[in-house]
Amino acid sequence: MQQRFFLLGVCAFAFGVPVFPQQGTDPSVGAQAGAGDGGMMTVEQAYLNSAEGVVIKEMVESRGHDSKVLALQYIQEALEGGRGSDDLQEALSRLATAGLFRVIREQGRVINDFPDIRLRACELLARLPSARTKDALIQVMCADREPSVVRAAVKSLGEVGINEQDETTATIGWISRKFSAINPTGSLALEILNTYERLAPTVRDRRAVVESIMDIAADGRYAAAVRARALEVVKGVVSGGK
């Protein structure tokens, strides 16, 4: 812990994070407790959060793949330590879209397309359930072309569990039709079914979800196990997930 604290201190100093609180202020005042202890943050905890945020931001903004891997590792450690925050959610959202909306080329070759980074970021976003997380995952799901990344986004949407006005299930239905037309992928179809099952209690327009499920059940390009799973899930959706 001391070594990690020292490393964060060095990085924070390099990036301009104040090491000592300003005179007359107590950085522990008003800070919420991490790790679910129900108390106030210590000075060290508040400093670690601040330093981690700066270090992670620098890693996320770096073009290199290795820096983004390190950012994901720092974020995972923070989440496991109970230090979730809006800054971490924002960092994960940026990692989840790395290479999707801003393509960087060198000598005609794309150098910032990192589907493995996007996939892991989608998985970690599920640990920060919120409307912002839901929006970020939907954005990835609609924009990404890699079935594995889309599958991770779909799974995390089910774990987040937000489906106001059927926005999430309607978008998943669109994704299901899109990939069925251009790149039918059994593992993605299976995750879509699992997510429909998780979100069944939140669904208002059950007919639309049932139609999407039955499209999978009737598609002979999917394995028999996937089609059988569709028939299982549709029963739960019809009954409201009970």
pLDDT per position as a tens digit, 29-48: 344 444 444 455 565 555 55
Query: Residue 45 — φ and ψ, nearest 5°?
Result: -65, -45
Distance (Å, rounded) from C-alpha 47 to C-alpha 218? Answer: 56
Residue 77 is given by DSSP the state: H
Q: Which two tokens stand for residue 155?
A: 């799974």
Contacts (Cβ under 8 Å, ≥6 apart) of 239: none
219 near 180, Cβ under 8 Å? Answer: yes
CA 210 vs CA 7, 157, 200: distances in Å: 53, 18, 10
Among 95-104, 178-187, 233-242, the range scoring the smallest mean pLDDT is 233-242
CA 75 centroid distance within chain: 12
Write down the mean pLDDT value for the chain.
85
pLDDT of residue 220: 97
Which residue bears the tokens 């393509």? 103
pLDDT digits (tens, 9 = 90+) for 5-22: 444 444 444 444 443 344
Kindly indicate the confidence band of residue 241, based on its pLDDT and cuts at 50, 70 and 90.
low
Tally of residues, the chain: 242
For the stretch 108-114, contacts whose Cβ atoms lie closer than 8 Å and that sit 24 or more positions apart, written own/partner, are: 111/63, 112/63, 114/65, 114/68
pLDDT digits (tens, 9 = 90+) for 191-216: 999 999 999 999 999 999 999 999 99
- Mean pLDDT, residues 94-117 taken together: 92
Is the model's pLDDT at 86 over the cut of 70? yes
Strands (E), 56-212: 105-106, 109-110
* Per-residue model confidence (pLDDT) at position 188: 99
Segment among 58-72, 170-184, 191-205 with least mean pLDDT: 58-72
